[in-house]
Amino acid sequence: MSRVVAVQMASGPNVSANLIEAGRLVARAARDHAAKLVVLPENFAIMGLTEQDKVRAREQDGKGPIQDFLANQAAKHGVWLVGGTIPLVARDEKKVRAACLLIDNRGQRVVRYDKMHMFDVHISETGENYAESQTIEAGEAIVVVDTPFGKLGLAVCYDLRFPELFRAMLAQGMEVLVVPSAFTAVTGMAHWEILVRARAIENLCYVVAAAQGGYHANGRETHGDSMIVDPWGMVLDRLPRGSGVVGADIEPARLRSIRRNFPAIQHQRLQCRLPDGK
């Protein structure tokens, strides 16, 4: 059994200030919750005033103050740390990769996942327009990795809406899913909890969903409601708004029991495939 914690923040445009706040919350997770795995939200290090701010703050893969921060925090507190997303250099010099990094408890990077699905939408209720593909280069690789907490799958925010991604993770043995996110207030109110719990239920896995939650200097409002959900879809802990942490235990025996007694995964009869050439 391992204690996992999701961190909730309301990040702004100042990287240094955001790292101070993230460090405070990681320390709290380690001190107050005896966390073994800590998950930071999407864009924890920078929520810019403009979309170009993250491009200016991008780092080379393996080098930079944000990556140093993650390594130092993981080693200092002896936790495995999921670094939400940070802007890393992309092939296109006008874009970044929204990279989610997993760091082990010695401060060594284990794996990197680049956000795959871009949030290019118009929200009619508020008039908000988002076009992530203009500044973010999409990733291509699914990531599931062995950890002391089980086989860990990495996804980010808008990825939640694409269940085929998680079926592919499940085929690689995924048992625990981490989802750093920054859902808007409108989409979060309508869909966040439903999507998080659905991914847990349909894949009979734990979900650790760390979110941005609050008002940001750029005028954006994020939904929050960071939560940890068990393989039966039960919410073990949650934080509706504001900065803070939520914690719960990952119980491998419970996961195995649910999958054995309710073997829906083995009952799959269809494998989704795209038509040739698509």
Active site residue 100: no
When pLDDT is cut at 50, 70 and 90, the band that residue 278 belongs to is: very low
Give me the pLDDT at residue 277, please. 44
Contact 205, 174 (CB under 8 A): yes
Q: Domain-by-domain residue ranges, the chain?
A: 2-262
Taking the CB of residue 276, how many other CB atoms lie within 10 A of it?
Answer: 5
Set 137, 157, 175, 205: catalytic member = 157
Contact 265, 175 (CB under 8 A): no
Quote the mean pLDDT of the chain.
Answer: 95
DSSP of 85-125: -EEEE-SSTT-EEEEEEEE-TTS-EEEEEE--S--EEEETT
Set 36, 54, 95, 115: catalytic member = 115
Would the pLDDT of 276 be above 70? Answer: no
Please state the pTM of the whole predicted model.
Answer: 0.95
Set 42, 59, 132, 137: catalytic member = 42
Which superfamily is assigned to 2-262 in CATH?
Answer: Carbon-nitrogen hydrolase (3.60.110.10)
Would the pLDDT of 126 be above 90? Answer: no
Give the model confidence (pLDDT) of 95-110 as tens digits.
Answer: 999 999 999 999 999 9
